[in-house]
Amino acid sequence: MKMKFHITLLAGLATVSLFTGCSKNPVTGKKEIIFMSKEKEIALGAESHPSIVATMGVYDDKNLQSFINEKGKAMANISHRPDLPYQFFIVDSPVVNAFAVPGGYVYFTRGIMAHFNNEAEFAGVLGHEIGHITARHSARQQTSQIFGQVGLMAGMVLSETVRGLAEQTQQALGMLLLSYSREHETESDKIGVEYSSKIGYDAKEMADFFGTLKKISDKSGQAIPTFQSTHPDPGDRKNKVEKLATQYQTEHPGKYNVNRDTYLRKIDGIIYGTDPKQGFVENNQFYHPELKFQFPVPSGWQYENSPAQFQMAPKGGKSMMLFAMAEGKSLEEAAQTVVKNYGLQVSENNKTTINGNPAIVMISTQAAQTQSGQQAAPTQNSIQVASWVIQYGGNIYVIHGVAQAANFAGNLSQFKSVAQGFKSVSDPNILNRQPERIRIKTVQRDGSLKDALKDIGQPDNKMDELSIINGMGLSDKVTKGMLIKTLGK
């Protein structure tokens, strides 16, 4: 959580322009009814981009950014839609993920960049994501949803029904990180083989990366990449992609590159896992070293940290809490902005102090809207919100506790406990915490990957994780002079 951005929560999708008649899909060549023009695709991508950046942040690595720009433009030029204004970004998230939005916007997390072991693996996933764009999967998905009378909705964090945290996050990015069908995923895998091969890479490495994804999904507690989460098993996809790559290379003989060492050197020093400066949870406390504050995280609660906000909720999903930067030059102005942004009806408003910091506490209701746009009378299904607007360290923050009216009173004491636990942090161990980084090392002798990692001083409790990061088994053979990934500060 960098707290450098203000994010406007998504309340819905922009109106879609409808067009009659059929158009030809640029990849399949088939005629199809599409309710989204090329201009609308580009506009949707441009509208989505600021929210993605605000939610995830951009990872600052000029050399790596230059690399993905170079390969992205090369692939865009040989794609079925070279006329789109493609843009490529590395976002500052540890989750192993890549995704694309209409109009040519393609995103890789630093988490997935850290897990690639050569340029060919990256190129395969790049081709897969560009394939979603060139095959117009967003537009086709949208058309299918319209015909099925499924509303294209992105949820608000303060929505009519408070759900579990994981669902909240999924809703907040609903349209941006569109979950494609199995058919679309299979089609994009095939396109990924074609595109990566056309710019000179061995698409069999793309198949191998599905093996890495399989290990990640099998490891408990790991996030599943969006492009595999609701789709065919990555093990099955590995076999299918390997067959597609073999077929392509048989039909188009030539030299196909892997470029392992050059890629590993490019990611030497990339941040791996949580970046402490964005905030981290330890011993049921959320700490933000850069902004020097902390507050409690209730035991057993799930949480999600992003550059824009920190949100958490119990597993039952009947309440949630949200921490973010508040807009305004004074407490009063910030409180008024909170009320306006969330459409709140305030019933209590009191000034106080929290651990010496000036604060305003509000109890509010977020009533549903009538068809005429007016706020409906509060009911048991209305959302009640407790808000603490706190001035600290030159900034103003807001902590929201949210629950349905029927459950609000039972959760209020928990909300108060968290808000009243907001305070400064001065522990040097917290303030100076450094992130783990990928460190590329040279194998000193022939042996197994495990032998090489132990020679370099990697701890035993990291061996399984390092095996996944390297895309190898611990018993796999390595040779003297070979480059491998390790973890260090």
Q: Report the CATH number at residue 303.
A: 3.40.1000.10
Looking at the fold, whether 343 and 462 belong to one and the same domain comes out as: no
- Of 431, 458, 477, the residue that ends a domain is 431
* 336: phi then psi, degrees, rounded to nearest 5: -65, -40
Model-wide pTM > 0.85: no
Q: How far is CA 217 from CA 225, 451, 462, 470, in A?
A: 9, 26, 17, 16
User: Is there a domain that residue 135 lies in?
Assistant: yes
Label residue 254 exposed, middle or buried (CB < 10 Å: 0-12, 13-18, 19+): exposed
Which residues are CB-neighbours of 398 under 8 A, at least 6 positions away? 323, 324, 325, 326, 334, 338, 387, 388, 389, 390
For the CA atoms of 465, 232, 198, 58, the dihedral, rounded to the nearest 10 degrees, stands at -50
Contacts of 250 (CB under 8 A, 6+ apart): none
What's 369's DSSP letter? B
**15 in a structural domain:** no
Q: Are residues 96 and 62 both part of a single domain? A: yes
Report strand pairing: 87-91 vs 105-109.
Answer: parallel
Q: Which amino acid makes up residue 423?
A: K
323 and 468 both lie in a single domain: no
Say which residue the tokens 């090489």 belong to: 452
> Do 372 and 469 have their domain in common?
no
Residue-number span of the structural domain to which 27 is assigned: 23-272
Dihedral sign, Cα of residue 419, residue 425, residue 429, residue 430: positive
Domain match, 312 and 242 both: no
Structure tokens at 189: 């895998």
* 427 lies in some domain: yes
Confirm if 447 and 477 have CB atoms less than 8 A apart: yes
Spell out the per-residue pLDDT of the chain, length 489, in tens.
Answer: 654 433 222 222 222 333 333 455 666 555 544 456 778 888 888 888 998 888 888 999 999 999 999 999 999 999 999 999 999 999 999 989 999 988 899 999 999 999 999 999 999 999 999 999 998 866 545 433 332 222 222 222 333 333 333 343 343 334 333 445 667 788 889 999 999 999 999 999 999 998 898 888 887 443 444 434 444 566 678 899 999 999 999 999 999 999 999 999 999 999 999 899 999 999 999 999 999 999 999 999 999 888 788 999 998 878 999 999 999 999 999 999 999 988 899 999 999 999 999 999 999 998 665 444 555 555 667 899 999 999 999 999 999 999 999 999 999 999 999 999 999 999 999 999 999 999 999 999 999 999 999 999 999 999 999 999 999 999 999 999 999 999 998
In a domain, 8, yes or no: no
Last residue of a domain, one of 226, 248, 272: 272
Q: How far apart are the two ends of the chain, measured CA to CA in Å?
A: 20
Residues 408 and 465 in one domain: no
Q: Distance of alpha carbon 316 from its chain centroid, rounded?
A: 23
Cα separation, 92 vs 278, whole angstroms: 10
Residues 268 and 289 in one domain: no
**CA separation for the pair 39, 84 (Å, rounded):** 10
158 in the same domain as 281? no
The answer to whether 104 touches 39, Cβ cutoff 8 Å, is no
User: Could you tell me if 107 and 155 lie in one domain?
Assistant: yes
Number of domains in the chain: 3
30 lies in some domain: yes
Each residue of 189-210: b (16+ CB within 10 Å) or e?
Answer: bbbbbbbbbbeebbbbbbbbbb
327 and 6 in contact (C-beta within 8 Å)?
yes
- Owner of token pair 């303060």: 158
Let me know whether 342 and 246 are in one domain: no
Please tell me the distance from the alpha carbon of residue 460 to that of residue 224, in angstroms, as a whole number. 25
**What region, left, alpha or beta, does residue 259 occupy, with left being phi > 0 and alpha being psi -120 to 50 degrees?**
left
Residues paired with 387 in a beta bridge = 362, 400
Residue 215 lies in a domain: yes
Map residue 447 onto helix, strand or coil: strand
Same domain, yes or no, for 251 and 117?
yes
User: Does residue 238 belong to any structural domain of this protein?
Assistant: yes
Is 440 found in the same domain as 427? no
Long-range CB contact pairs, 67-72, < 8 A, 24+: 67/266, 68/108, 68/122, 68/126, 71/119, 71/122, 71/123, 71/126, 71/199, 72/106, 72/126, 72/130
Would the CA dihedral through 76, 438, 4, 10 be positive or negative?
positive
How far is residue 78 from each of residues 38, 132, 284, 398, 413, measured CA to CA in Å? Answer: 18, 15, 50, 48, 59
Where is the domain boundary, 272, 306, 333? 272
Q: Is residue 4 part of a domain?
A: no
